[in-house]
Structure 1
Amino acid sequence: AGTEEAFQMKLTVLVPTYRRSQDLARCLAALQQQTRLADEILIVVREEDRETSQFFAANRYPSLGLRLITVTVPGQVAALNAGLDAARGDVIAITDDDAAPHPYWLERIEAHFRADDRLGGLGGRDWVYTNGQLIDASVHPGASDTVGRLQWFGRSIGNHHICTGKAREVDILKGANMSFRRTALDGLRFDSRLKGTGAQVCNDMGFSLAVKKAGWKLVYDPQVAVDHYPAQRFDEDQRNQFNAVAQVNLAHNETLVTLENLAPYQRVVFLIWSTLVGTRSIFGVVQLIRFLARERTLAIQKWLASMQGRWQGWQTWWRSRTKNQHGILVKSGNEFNNAA
């Protein structure tokens, strides 16, 4: 009892997928090459996704012990929650269908969780390739020094794809490469209030912060790595192409998640800062002025959609908070469920 031999840690790999069978094939090939194989691999598929169903009809992957989980609700949140409900491992490692874990990925994940029983979540670097070209950290001077942080005034910093150096504690993990100890979840699920019909951006940010708020440690280790080939999305969010609905969803989701994880005075500062300044992704007034000469009408559209999303995010947060105070809703982790 208490020896490493007495405790055989089981690892589950969770991969949500939708209509990207070629990318999924690359991901599964990488999982077959792991120096420490997964004990189970869960592939979550939407019911209407015939392309993926046909892919598995022709490719059985008997050596991987795959389990297919079917969901009827669109969006990544529903897929991830269905996977968490079905997972049987002591550690649940999550990656995207357009990612390919490095051979030592699971071995290093297991080593981290064995070494620190206060570790609730672990993330690592995703080496992002765009049009076959690796995004080079050297073109982002200083950016790789800070990773996965929520600053006191509400600005979030990612940099998971370019961060180097030693393992360190963080606030936020990235969905393409994150893993969690089952006992740290304690009923936590991804937030179903997030908007979007596909990616539902910021779901990883919200989930990471919920685990950290529960008292667990989150660590980023760039040696726990995957290759990431951002693929086509089949929803309103087309990555680098502006879409007003996607912009509103982004601003809503980030605002909601941020308000959930700040102290009262910090929320006030965040609302003022995000309205007056903002970021390159979600415009405030300063960013509108900064990009107006270059983008003209597009900058105005981005700003209007950003402000609409900020307002909607505040409304969602306030309604949830008010209803919870009146006993109408019961909060489990960061997901709200009707108790009526």
Structure 2
Amino acid sequence: MRNTVLIPTYRRPLDLSRCLSALQTQTKPVDQVIVVVRDTDTATWNFLAEFAPNNLPLQTVTVTQPGVVAALNAGLVAVTGDIVSITDDDAAPHPDWLARINAHFIDSLVAGVGGRDWVHQGNKILDESRLVVGKLQWFGRVIGNHHLGVGEARQVDVLKGVNMSFRTQAIAGLRFDERMRGTGAQVHFEMAFTLALKRAGWQLIYDPKIAVDHYPAQRFDEDQRHNFNQIALTNLVHNETLILLEHLPTIRRMIFGFWAIFIGTRDCFGLIQWLRFLPSQGQLATRKLLASLQGRWQGYKQFKIQEQLGNFEYPNNDATT
């Protein structure tokens, strides 16, 4: 199988250099490397002009729109491999990355494969362990933990953007959802993509041995990772809400709405989470609650618009994930 690696990048030339260097050391040589660069990203274009590829089959794609969704969709058009592996510019795949990925695609029922991203925080590496990874619970809560996964390879519902690969035959005609809000990270963009594959009957595999080192770098948008930003949180919750309302069958959709508004998570507050964190976070907890509720409402409105337009099919009421 021919392998394409697709990397969206923006204003991180040093990180991109580390990523490309890691691809040069793959035990299974990469057949095509596509780097998607914003037209205004002078620093990256200057780096690429001087980069010595050392037999790395590198090509660039220019994108004018901000956001990871536009970048990935532009890159997908240029893919020629049987497998397209997506990673971030601030990640460095392990040498056996592509070889381990290809091993799972021997199974013709598998459309997507992902693995662990070992997160580096300064001189420390997050080395906790989780067995539950990439699962959508029946009431709509999404469990990530891709950066902490251990154990054997298994089927999952959701893959993570920094380390996910797809059979190009399976994703023919499928594109990342342009309704995802945000001007950079567009959080949960990969959930919309992978759940669409699940609805189509494909299998997704998570294997912790398929690994990249992840050095979370600065973002140049409203989403600054661990610093609260009302717009970023509202966008995140909007994206999650829209995706899940379209994916879940009717009864579970109603349960998700109740759970999201009245309970929520430690990141996307419902009323109970707000009460839980109010003593320690004060006004910040209230701002998080308001941003979360606004995102839920906006996601619901977008869902109703799509429903009226008839742009998606209702899942069966007894559907499982």
Q: Alignment partner of 2:170: what SS? A: helix
* Other-structure match for 2:316: none
1:320 equivalenced with 2:297 (yes/no): no
Give unpaired runs (5+ residues) of structure 1.
1-8, 139-143, 333-340
One-letter amino acid of the structure 2 residue matched with residue 248 of structure 1: T
* Residues in 2 aligned to 1:106 and 1:69: alpha-carbon distance in whole angstroms: 22
* Residues in 2 aligned to 1:317 and 1:180: alpha-carbon distance in whole angstroms: 27
Displacement after TM superposition at 1:270 (Å): 0.3
1:66 equivalenced with 2:47 (yes/no): no
Q: Alignment partner of 2:77: what SS? A: helix
Displacement after TM superposition at 1:88 (Å): 0.6
Displacement after TM superposition at 1:37 (Å): 1.1
Q: Alignment partner of 1:44: what SS? A: strand
- Normalising by structure 2, report the TM-score: 0.96
Q: How big is each residue's C-alpha offset from its partner over 1:283-329, in whole Å with a ceiling of 9 and x where there is no partner?
A: 000010000000000000000000000100111111012112xxxx6
One-letter amino acid of the structure 1 residue matched with residue 68 of structure 2: Q
One-letter amino acid of the structure 2 residue matched with residue 289 of structure 1: L
* Other-structure match for 1:175: 161
Displacement after TM superposition at 1:23 (Å): 0.5
* Residues in 2 aligned to 1:256 and 1:83: alpha-carbon distance in whole angstroms: 25
Q: Name the % identity.
A: 56
Displacement after TM superposition at 1:62 (Å): 4.4
* Other-structure match for 2:111: 120
* Other-structure match for 2:41: 49
* Residues in 2 aligned to 1:261 and 1:99: alpha-carbon distance in whole angstroms: 30
Q: Pick which of 54-63 and 119-128 moved more.
A: 54-63
* Residues in 2 aligned to 1:260 and 1:176: alpha-carbon distance in whole angstroms: 24
Q: How big is each residue's C-alpha offset from its partner over 1:133-180, in whole Å with a ceiling of 9 and x where there is no partner?
A: 101215xxxxx1101001110000001111101000000000000000
* Residues in 2 aligned to 1:261 and 1:197: alpha-carbon distance in whole angstroms: 24
* Other-structure match for 2:120: 129
* Residues in 2 aligned to 1:186 and 1:261: alpha-carbon distance in whole angstroms: 20
Q: Alignment partner of 2:278: what SS? A: helix
Displacement after TM superposition at 1:45 (Å): 0.5
- Normalising by structure 1, report the TM-score: 0.90
Displacement after TM superposition at 1:60 (Å): 3.5
Q: In the TM superposition, what are the counterparts of 1:268-307 in structure 2 within 5 Å? A: 268-307=254-293
Displacement after TM superposition at 1:85 (Å): 1.2
One-letter amino acid of the structure 1 residue matched with residue 85 of structure 2: A
Q: How big is each residue's C-alpha offset from its partner over 1:61-120, in whole Å with a ceiling of 9 and x where there is no partner?
A: 141110100001110000011111110111000000000000000011111112x01110
Decide which of 270, 278, 296 is 1:310's aligned counterpart. 296
Give unpaired runs (5+ residues) of structure 2.
314-321
* Other-structure match for 2:187: 201
* Other-structure match for 1:160: 146
Decide which of 50, 62, 71 is 1:79's aligned counterpart. 71
Which 4+ runs in 1 deviate beyond 4 A?
none
* Residues in 2 aligned to 1:57 and 1:12: alpha-carbon distance in whole angstroms: 21
* Residues in 2 aligned to 1:321 and 1:15: alpha-carbon distance in whole angstroms: 33
Q: Alignment partner of 2:169: what SS? A: helix
Number of residues paired by the alignment?
A: 313
Decide which of 190, 200, 208 is 1:214's aligned counterpart. 200
* Residues in 1 aligned to 2:7 and 2:201: alpha-carbon distance in whole angstroms: 26
* Residues in 2 aligned to 1:62 and 1:81: alpha-carbon distance in whole angstroms: 27
1:258 equivalenced with 2:244 (yes/no): yes
1:14 equivalenced with 2:18 (yes/no): no
Q: Alignment partner of 2:34: what SS? A: strand
Displacement after TM superposition at 1:258 (Å): 1.0
Q: Pick which of 287-296 and 252-261 moved more.
A: 252-261
Displacement after TM superposition at 1:132 (Å): 2.6
* Residues in 2 aligned to 1:242 and 1:151: alpha-carbon distance in whole angstroms: 26
* Residues in 1 aligned to 2:122 and 2:256: alpha-carbon distance in whole angstroms: 36
